[in-house]
Amino acid sequence: MNMMEKRSVFLPLMLVFLFICATDAFSQDKAQFNRRYQNGTQLYKLSRFHEAAVEFRRAQETATNSNEKSAALYWVILSQLAYSDFGSAIRDMETLEKTAPNSPYARDMVYHRARVYYNQGYFEDALFLFNRYNQSTVEKDKESADRKAAAFFWMGECLFSLGQHEEAEKFYAWIVAKYPGSPKVEASTYRIDLIKQKKIESELLALLQWSHEEALRTSEDYQKTIRTYEYTLNMYQRRIAELSNTDNVMQHQINSHDFYQFERQNWNQNENQNQNVIQNNIQNGFEIIEELEIIEEAPAFDDPVTEPEDVHFSQNEYLIERARQLGNNVRAILNSEPSGGR
């Protein structure tokens, strides 16, 4: 067998061997992908999301086609969302959109990206993506209907977080009425009750605020009334004090005038009595003087009349002594007169 014949025989054998090896390698990769993918699925169901993400990532590396890679990466993203690794989930979402823009998971990525935005606090962006997802979803079966109900629910959650409770209540009420079998009905009912309670709380808070403001105004008016009352009371007290002082002065003047009148009346009475005594004494004095003049003018007897032995004064001496006593009485009366009486 020459060289050309040997080469013509060896080349087909080589190709067959390489095909067999490639087929075997492909089969091994396929088996490994399936094993990793199934392990990841089991771990995800057991809520062991970190381990599931690792298995799905290995399945992605051993995937034999783009569909397998897209499927593995999709579950990697779901596992990352489950344990709240939102940054890694967003990066893998962008990778999936670039490598498989027409994959069946592209529409679901809109929903999950909206969930990530909601969890990160970007409520307006999340609301826009949830609405976009709803517009692209057709209710062809219960699963799609539940997805759409879930999107409506999260739209309500976005509005609730933005403080637009009345608008959010419309979405919750729509889920209860339109999707009674959805898993989000219970949560929607709870939100409706919560919104109603918040309305009541807001009304009570507004009423309490109004009552507080009214109480403050009433308190201010009361304080003004108290200050006015205290001012008026002080004015009356000062006026009463002034009137009391004036009354005391007037009473003192009245008492002083009455005392003066009483003293003046007593003095006048004493003065009249003294005048009468003086007049009597003067009259007696004049009588005594007349008697003395009569005695002096009487003729003298030869035998003078003698007094009895028990009489110590003669008639003249008696009259003189009587005049002296009257004079002393007059002098005593004059000395006893009050100095202010003249």
Domain made up of 21-204: CATH architecture? Alpha Horseshoe (1.25)
For residue 278, with 0-12 CB atoms within 10 Å meaning exposed, 13-18 middle and 19 or more buried, which class applies? middle
Given pLDDT bands bounded at 50, 70 and 90, which one contains residue 71? very high
pLDDT 10s digits, 200-219: 988 888 888 887 777 777 77
Task: Kindly give, in sequence order, each residue whose CB lies less than 8 Å from that of residue 165, ignoring residues fewer than 6 positions away.
Answer: 159, 195, 198, 199
Residue 316 has pLDDT above 80, yes or no: no
Tokens of 53: 């993400």
pLDDT 10s digits, 37-69: 999 999 999 999 999 999 999 999 988 888 899
Average pLDDT of the chain is: 77
Are 281 and 330 spatial neighbours (Cβ–Cβ below 8 Å)? yes
> pTM for the complete prediction?
0.56
**pLDDT of res. 300:** 44
Using DSSP, state whether 47 is helix, strand or coil.
coil
Residue 85 has pLDDT above 90, yes or no: yes
Residue range 239-257: mean pLDDT, rounded: 64
Task: Kindly give, in sequence order, each residue whose CB lies less than 8 Å from that of residue 278, ignoring residues fewer than 6 positions away.
Answer: 330, 333
**pLDDT of res. 214:** 78
Q: Could you state, in order of their start, the residue ranges of all structural domains in the chain?
A: 21-204
Q: How far apart are the first and last CA of the chain?
A: 194
